[in-house]
């Protein structure tokens, strides 16, 4: 089964919500209640690994906006995000993921956390392609 960036974004948002974060849709960049978290997921690399397999690397970017703009509050949120995501496996569809590296940055009292998820999956099938039902081999033996 194929997964996509929306599946990943939804699962990461669910995990953060389960750990007490106020996850806000990324479209709501104005008028949101603080403290809040935004989750963005985008493909950073896709490589074909043969005819029907692709290797996908997606980048997950989390932005935490504290209620009180202090480095200390951002550092505490970084620890909570690390505990929520890094030390256990989580599932997305039939895939099992473990985060091995988190990139953490605090700038202007906004916490940014990012990581990559690597996975393999079948390439999308062209709707015009009909599945092969019978394979006939011929030749002289």
Dihedral of CA atoms 124, 125, 128, 134 in degrees, nearest 10, equals 170
Is the confidence at residue 128, as pLDDT, over 90?
A: no
Provide the whole-model pTM: 0.85
- In this structure, CATH architecture of domain 5-122: 2-Layer Sandwich (3.30)
Domain boundaries, the chain: 5-122
Q: Which one-letter DSSP state was computed for residue 107?
A: E
Helix, strand, coil distribution of the chain in percent, nearest 5: 20, 35, 45
Residue 10 has pLDDT above 80, yes or no: yes
> What is the Rg, in whole angstroms, of the alpha carbon atoms belonging to the chain?
20
Read off the pLDDT of residues 48-106 as tens digits, 9 standing for 90 and up.
998 899 999 999 999 999 999 999 999 999 999 999 999 999 999 999 999 999 999 99
* Whether pLDDT at 129 is above 80: no
CA dist., res. 116 & res. 107, Å (int): 21
């Amino acid at each position: 089964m194929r997964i996509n960036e929306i599946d990943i974004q939804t699962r990461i948002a669910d995990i953060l919500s389960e750990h007490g974060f106020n996850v806000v849709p990324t479209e709501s960049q104005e008028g949101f209640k603080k403290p809040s978290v935004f989750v963005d997921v985008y493909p950073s690399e896709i490589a074909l690994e043969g005819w029907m397999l692709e290797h996908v690397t997606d980048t997950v970017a989390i932005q935490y906006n504290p209620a009180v703009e202090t480095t200390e509050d951002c550092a505490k949120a970084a620890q909570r995000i690390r505990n929520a995501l890094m030390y256990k496996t989580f599932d997305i569809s039939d895939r099992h993921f473990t985060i091995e590296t988190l990139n953490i940055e605090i700038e202007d009292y906004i916490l940014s956390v990012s990581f990559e998820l690597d996975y393999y999956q079948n390439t999308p099938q062209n709707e015009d392609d009909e599945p092969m039902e019978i394979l006939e081999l011929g030749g002289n033996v």
